[in-house]
Amino acid sequence: MDKIPVIVIVGPTAVGKTALSIDMAKQFHGEIISGDSMQVYKGLDIGTAKITPEEMAGVPHYLIDITEPSEPYDASIFKKETHRLIREIWQSGKIPFIVGGTGLYIQSVLYDYTFAEVEGDVAYREALAQKPGEELLGMLQKVDPESAERLHANNPRRIIRALEVHHFSGKKFSELQSQEEQASEFAPLLIGLTRERELLYARIDLRVDIMMEQGLLEEAKALYDTGLRDVPAVRGIGYKELFTYFDGKMTLDDAITLLKRNSRRFAKRQLTWFRNRMDVHWFDVDEPEIESVITSEIKQFLTVNKGF
């Protein structure tokens, strides 16, 4: 059976995924599934930078505003819903797009690694954990150079997992990953957006200022007043910092400063996740004619996978 082509647009917060995804979906007759773990919640609009109906520009969007902040929602639910939506979008004659920055959610949809079930050994893992990243990477290079090439010394947990897989199964982490990718019913093209760090951080700080002007404080207070505390919606960046202010533990200015710092750190973690765990084609959004370059990339991909 031919695989369903899926265009996936990822990247850090505030990099410009929404605007580009609308343009690409229009060009290629696509429909968009949100790959953001916070935008599923009703009422959390400003703090999650939720796309507005006007910004959607007629392009259908899914998995936005589908559950209450009090209700559980996780990667397994997202995976099930997204698989169903991808098939439905494809069967309707459209191209499925997934757009967002929640790496775990997107990874859960595209790959279903059986090597996650390979048993571990606490003693073996702890022994490896004592070694520096460069040494671990050197060990992996000897037994699985393909995985070593894709991983970084600053990601020791992932390197240790790859070494564990080889140690206990005798198989290469990269081979098992490749087998799972081949077994998937989807053929993904992963497009990653990035920009120079200082420019991205300045954009993040500006976005927080705009959110505050748009009413983030009032939105967070409405969530605070529900009494919800230990749920994922409350732990989201943009809400947990302002909850600290509502609790009287810091000033509003300090809470906003913390929100900006946490947003910048989150962007860095997003980039690290996608670079270390997924085969992403990266594009600097500030490069000239970048939309034309990405359009060509998608067109070439669909020509191979769809006969576009």
Tokens of 222: 């409405």
Question: Where would I find the beta strands (DSSP E) of 146-275?
Answer: 186-194
CB 144 within 8 A of CB 162: yes
14 is in an annotated binding site: yes
Distance of alpha carbon 223 from alpha carbon 229, whole angstroms: 9
15 is in an annotated binding site: yes
18 is in an annotated binding site: yes
Tokens of 154: 């600053």
43 is in an annotated binding site: no
Closest by CA to 232, choosing from 102, 109, 84, is 102
5 is in an annotated binding site: no
**Can you tell me whether residue 38 is helix, strand or coil?**
coil
303 is in an annotated binding site: no
Alpha helices in 92-152 (DSSP H): 103-110, 122-129, 133-143, 145-150
288 is in an annotated binding site: no
State which amino acid sits at residue 66: I
Instruction: Judge residue 284's burial from the number of C-beta atoms within 10 Å of its C-beta, 0-12 exposed, 13-18 middle, 19 or more buried.
Output: middle
Closest by CA to 13, choosing from 294, 262, 293, 298, is 262
Question: Where would I find the beta strands (DSSP E) of 120-270?
Answer: 186-194
257 is in an annotated binding site: no
Q: Binding site residues, as ranges?
A: 11-18
Q: Binding site residues for substrate, as ranges?
A: 13-18
Q: Binding site residues for ATP, as ranges?
A: 11-18
